[in-house]
Structure 1
Amino acid sequence: MYIIFDETIIDSEEIKDLIQQKSDFKVEKDMCKATKREDVLAYLVTLDVDLIEKQIREEYDLQDMEMEDLFEEYMELAEEKALELEELMPMYSIMEAKAYKWDMSENKIKTIMAVAHTDLGVLKLSDVVKRLLSETD
């Protein structure tokens, strides 16, 4: 899908490929159409829990962690890593990411991420992410 980014047209497939080549995320679904906007890129991305667990092991003893605390750490780190992808996005972009599920069968954290031009504003982009979260599994 093509997205209007300020005065430029961006192919969402190119950004999808960039995310998969330059990060540990796998793009499960292009959600640009689901945003119902012509100026927002959105994806459902997954991150392998084993990658996050390595980072958590450096800071905590996993033996002592409650499952709920571990879940929260996974979610936070997945969101942080998703927001680091902003470096790969076009200039003058803003980004919002929300991890929402630990898929234990696949051992992955699912995250919704959305990118737009700064003119859109953080509040509108946050609303788009909230709407997308309501449409996911």
Structure 2
Amino acid sequence: MQTDQPGIVVVPISAIRKRMTPVQQWRSSQQTFEVGGEMELAVFHQKMIETGYTMVDKVSLQGEYSVRGGIIDVFPMTESHPLRLELFDTDIDSIRSFDIDSQRSLETKERFTLLPAKEWVLTAGDRDYLTKQVQKELKKSR
């Protein structure tokens, strides 16, 4: 649906009635990693939090990620195996899918786009706005 290509989408009525993240915000919350590209760890952590990923010591479930030095493991919601990104400083040296149990590499990738782990993406600006609105409503109710 996000590609704006014509087609037919079959969904339950409850899904149609559900509010979703605006398309532009959804697109900007995606992260694309490419071998030879750069990654700013602080920006990466912030995006992972905003998009619903949980930081753990060792990934085992979709929606989790871990950082150990220059190795980042992330288990996308769209994949059956987690991915391992190896960094040299801020440069991405490799992207590989791996088996959770054996930790062995399965497939190498040159590029990967990571989608959010939740349907509604809240940026820091959104949280600030909502916090101010809640505080304003609390003051009114006193």
| Range class of TM-score, shorter chain | under 0.3
Q: Output the TM-score relative to the length of structure 2.
A: 0.26
Give the structure with the higher percent strand: 1
From the CA coordinates, give the structure whose radius of gyration is larger: 2
Give the structure with the higher percent helix: 1
